[in-house]
Amino acid sequence: MAYLFKQKLVFKPVPPARLVFVVEPEEYLLELYCKHLLAEQYEVRGFRDLDALVLPPGRGAGPDVAVISTQQLRRPDFQDIKTEKLPASVKIISVGSSTDADFIRNLMSMGVSSHLERRLTRPRDLVEIVGALFYH
C-alpha cells in the first residue's frame, strides 16, 4: 500500500541578533529578565540604573528594545537621558507594580510602547512582548 502525506510546515522566522537593554535596580529581577531573554537568543545588556547605561561600541543604532523599571521612568531627567543615550527608534517597555492609570497614560505620552504590571505577569510575558515588538 502506498500512502501519501501532506504536511504543512510552519517555520517561525528567526530574527537577526536583537539588542535589548534591561534597566532594573533590583538585582534579582535584572538577572531574571536577562536570563529569560538570553534563552530566546536575544543579545542582552543589563544595567542597574539609567546613569550606567552605555551604548556598545561598533553598534551605532543602539538597542532595539529597552526594558525599563518604572522606578527609573519616574526620574525627572528621564526624557533628557532618553534623548542622550537611546536612539529615537528604540521601543520602550516599562515594568513596575502598583501603577495607576494616570501614570501609565503619562508613560505612553513619553513614548513607552508597552507596560507590564509585575504583580499580574510572569517574566516569560516580557519575552513575549519583546518578540511581538520585533515581529509587528
* 60-89 pLDDT tens trace: 668 889 999 999 988 899 888 888 888 888
The range of the structural domain enclosing residue 99 comes to: 19-51+62-135
Kindly tell me the burial class for residue 107, based on how many C-beta atoms sit within 10 Å of its own C-beta (0-12, 13-18, 19 or more): buried
Tell me: the pLDDT tens digits for 117-126?
A: 988 888 889 9
Whichever domain contains 117, its CATH number is 3.40.50.2300
**Total H helices, total E strands in the chain:** 5, 5
Total structural domains within the chain: 1
Residue 25 domain-assigned (yes or no): yes
Residue 114 domain-assigned (yes or no): yes
Confidence (pTM)? 0.82
Residue 9 domain-assigned (yes or no): no
Residue 30 domain-assigned (yes or no): yes
